[in-house]
């Protein structure tokens, strides 16, 4: 299949919503059982191969563990300086670990560091138990959150990724949870961008298992994983020129090949795509308000008009304004007045509502009478 990858890529891209294969060049070199390249802001898939195959993720599982912990930190249920006590269960995890002992205590910050940098199974379980009372309870939260994110290929059995029957996910689902983590919890970068650090006041050295952090320009994370059955896995994130990409690689034959595949995916994305801000081709005119305390209301774009685009199509972006000439009071702030249509090569790519910037109350009867008199006076 890989021999025909370059030929198949254009057909695959034609199926992706909003993107065309027109000027996209240089299919990435993929040495893996499955791969996905996703852009963070829009969630657009730029490349995929066997994206929904259910495979073992190994320690890439911990992306969900990190997500749930960061959600708890960001909504105030946990603090980074909270102290976590290591249980016998957590201390006995084996595999990748920081050799935590039963009864030993670490802050949430240090636990996150241990998970993100060296994939500590002991730290992951200790955090899970601290947050949910037990690893089993935490796994229930993991699967519930996966369902909320639309991760239809996923079933988690533990919070570490250690081999377990039925513990499966897909490259696409990993991209979904990775996107949720880096998009809505940017504080995770404090941990995922560490190359070298230490625990226990410098007595235990940490070196990131993700070599891209040191050797790939713009790398921001995220998580490695490997077992005999899963082979070598990775969710790699990197940002350049304001665009962050997520490259997921599953079942790569060697550690080096997973990193090279991730680099190839990221290079492909950065070479061919960009995020660009789109603005109206003219200043938005105010909309007339009938029977309003104000005669006009100013429209504004409801949200950012930032779109993902093939770099070769940058000069083919145009906009059209479709605005109501008038609206009857009362007008609510945020009420739709029209829309800006974004076109690429004449084809609609996105439609952004134009809404009222403020509320306009309706005139009462005396107000209508006074306005009528004023109109008569001005006409005379």
Tell me the catalytic residues: 59, 62, 119
Residues whose CB is less than 8 angstroms from the CB of residue 378 and which lie 6 or more positions away in sequence, other chains included: none
- Rg from Cα positions in the chain: 26
Backbone torsion region of residue 218, taken as left when φ is above 0, otherwise alpha when ψ lies between -120 and 50, otherwise beta? left
**CA pair distance 217, 228, nearest whole angstrom:** 30
Residue 317 burial (C-beta neighbours within 10 Å; 0-12, 13-18, 19+): middle
Could you tell me which residues are beta bridge partners of residue 293? none
For residue 11, count other CB atoms closer than 10 A to its CB.
Answer: 9
For residue 32, count other CB atoms closer than 10 A to its CB.
Answer: 26
E strands within 241-363? Answer: 243-252, 273-277, 287-290, 296-297, 299-301, 306-310, 317-323, 326-328, 336-344, 347-356
| Parallel/antiparallel/unpaired status of strands 196-199 and 83-85 | unpaired
| Closest to 303 (Cα-Cα) out of 355, 242, 359, 360 | 355
């Amino acid at each position: 299949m890989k021999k025909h990858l370059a030929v198949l890529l254009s057909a695959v891209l034609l199926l992706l919503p909003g993107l065309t294969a027109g000027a996209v060049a240089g299919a990435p070199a993929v040495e893996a059982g499955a791969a996905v390249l996703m852009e963070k802001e829009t969630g657009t898939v730029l490349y995929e191969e066997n994206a929904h195959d259910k495979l073992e993720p190994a320690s890439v599982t911990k992306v969900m563990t990190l997500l749930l912990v960061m959600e708890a930190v960001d909504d105030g249920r946990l603090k980074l300086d909270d102290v976590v006590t290591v249980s016998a269960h957590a201390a006995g995890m084996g595999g990748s670990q920081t050799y935590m002992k039963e009864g030993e205590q670490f802050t949430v910050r240090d636990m996150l560091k241990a998970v993100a940098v060296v994939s500590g199974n002991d730290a992951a379980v200790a955090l899970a138990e601290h947050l949910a009372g037990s690893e089993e309870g935490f796994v229930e939260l993991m699967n519930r959150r996966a369902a909320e994110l639309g991760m239809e290929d996923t079933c988690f059995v533990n919070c570490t990724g250690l081999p377990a029957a039925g513990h499966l996910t897909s490259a696409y689902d990993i991209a979904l949870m990775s996107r949720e983590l880096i998009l809505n919890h940017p504080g995770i970068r404090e941990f995922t961008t560490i190359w070298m650090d230490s625990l226990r006041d410098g007595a235990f050295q940490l070196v990131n298992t993700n070599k891209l952090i040191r050797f790939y320009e713009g790398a921001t994370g995220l998580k490695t994983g490997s077992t005999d059955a899963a082979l070598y896995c990775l969710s790699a994130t990197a940002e350049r020129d304001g665009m962050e990409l997520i490259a997921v690689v599953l079942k790569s034959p060697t550690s080096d090949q997973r990193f090279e595949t991730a680099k190839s995916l990221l290079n492909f994305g950065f070479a061919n795509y960009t995020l660009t801000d789109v603005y109206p081709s003219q200043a938005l005119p105010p909309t007339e308000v009938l029977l309003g305390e104000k005669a006009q209301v100013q429209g504004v774009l409801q949200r950012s008009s930032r779109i993902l685009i093939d770099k070769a199509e940058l000069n083919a972006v145009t906009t059209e304004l479709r605005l109501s000439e008038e609206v009857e009071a009362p007008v609510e702030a945020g009420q739709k007045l029209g829309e800006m249509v974004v076109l690429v090569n004449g084809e609609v790519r996105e439609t952004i509502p134009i809404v009222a910037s403020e509320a306009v109350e309706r005139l009462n009867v005396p107000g209508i009478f006074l306005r009528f008199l004023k109109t008569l006076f001005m006409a005379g």
